[in-house]
Amino acid sequence: MKKIFFVFFFLIIDLIFSQLFLLNFLEKNMVNANKESFENRIFNKDYKYTFKKSANFNSQYYGNIYKVSTNDLGFRDESSRPLNRNEKFSIVIGDSFVEGVGLEYDDTLVGKLNKNSNNLKEKIRFLNAGVSSYSSYIYLKKIKTILDDNPDLKIKDVIVMLDKSDVLDDEMYLNRPNIFKNTKGKFIHKRKEDFFVDLQDLSFWRFYTKQTISGKMIKIFTDILENFFSNLNKRISLSKKLNKSFFQITDLEIMAIKSINNRPYIKNWFVGAGWENKAKKNIIFSIENLKILKDYLDKKNINLIVVLYPWSFEIEDEEVRNKYLDFIIPLLENNKIKTLSVYDEFLKENVYKTIGKNFIYNDVHFNGSGYKIIADRISTFLNK
């Protein structure tokens, strides 16, 4: 009985101190980064949302805090200084891959492109118009709005980084809204929001591991164990698949599996019924948006270039990869849209090592090394 009382007393004290002091102290930087990111991602009636102009703030992506600066267009940039309107620019637009989530500016695609700019035949500075969760209809709306509102901008190219998740995200815009309503809610502190929710759901284990220090420490330990056995299983599976010894499987190859298995709901759109019933239709919608954008840019003598790049699951799965490319490339070519595929850059050697080296660990996005490969290929394409 005394042991039960002691455990109960310990848990109550742990909960009180965790809520009043410890968790707030440990989470301060993360919460502040989330709050700053939320406040600096603002509504826009013409293309739904963007960044605040001339801002400096911290953002957070799966525990990684990174700095974001924006220029006077509200584009992510190396600093918050205004643009030199006498320079010539190429605009790069896309979703989280172009925004560069989790990375400092120099490691993003546009950061790498600007580093390469001295080697281009024509002096150009690259601008980052990308924001997480954008898709083809938002690319169209944002580029038209920015160029109409800034007629003094000297734009040579618009480079659209067409993403797999655009197929899902465009589902919201199939009715082609002309203006958007502000649906942005208020900032939520997720742990505090879950406090009573988990209690009401009788999710006591989830409550304990979220709301107390001892619970968080136990969760860290169980996650380490779970990760160890998960990696062990992946190593066994990969050794059979590659016909290699268990001990020959490298950490890079294990990292690749972590990336490949991330966001499985995206891959589901590109296989089976998801591909036939939804993805094809939405890809056609994306190409229609790009054709409208091309016609608009042609009148301004601005080049449109569409870049196709792989997710890690496509690098591994040749059937899914070829099915997608064989469907989308003819659509782009039939609409006379300049297209650059960088897939082959990631298929030159052991694909698992390639993925491990060039993608963020346990994530679908490229790291600085991956973006350098894409930036180098784009730079070569532009020089031609």
- Tens of pLDDT, residues 262-276: 999 999 999 999 999
Contacts of 342 (CB under 8 A, 6+ apart): 307, 308, 309, 310, 373, 374, 377, 378
What is the CATH number assigned to the segment(s) 1-177+188-384? 3.40.50.1110
Count Cα atoms within 13 angstroms, Cβ side, for 200: 5
Domain ranges of the chain: 1-177+188-384
Q: Token pair for residue 363?
A: 């994530």
Kindly report, residue by residue over 345-354, the tens digit of the pLDDT.
Answer: 999 989 999 9
**pLDDT of 6:** 79
The total of other beta-carbon atoms located within 10 Å of residue 207's CB is: 19
What residues are paired with 48 via a beta bridge? 44
Supply the pTM of this predicted model.
0.94
Q: Token pair for residue 163?
A: 């993403």
Q: What confidence category does residue 176 fall into, taking pLDDT thresholds of 50, 70 and 90?
A: very high
Distance CA 79, CA 106 (A): 11
pLDDT, mean of residues 111-127 = 94
Q: What confidence category does residue 209 fall into, taking pLDDT thresholds of 50, 70 and 90?
A: very high
